[in-house]
Amino acid sequence: MIDSRDPELLVAQLQRECDEVTQTNDQLALELMQLQQHRIALKILLERLMPLEAAGCPC
């Protein structure tokens, strides 16, 4: 436990926590962008396959 009476230690602890949260946030943002790209790719694929189903393609 950090002694909250020592401002320098408190600032250092808060900076470490902030850095950890920022790193986690960056990782989650990257994962979200990748998932959005996959969703778009799947939507495009689905749109391309749907006309084949409507035409009765036995693919």
Instruction: Give the whole-angstrom CA distance, residue 29 versus residue 57.
Output: 40
Exposure letters 44-58 (e unless 16+ CB within 10 A, then b):
eeeeeeeeeeeeeee
Residue type, 52: L
Give yes or no for residue 59 having a pLDDT over 80.
no
Identify the sign of the CA torsion 8, 10, 14, 16. Answer: positive
What pTM was estimated for this model as a whole? 0.67
| Both structure tokens of 15 | 């900076």
* 10-30 residue pLDDT tens: 999 999 999 999 999 999 999
Give yes or no for residue 57 having a pLDDT over 70.
no
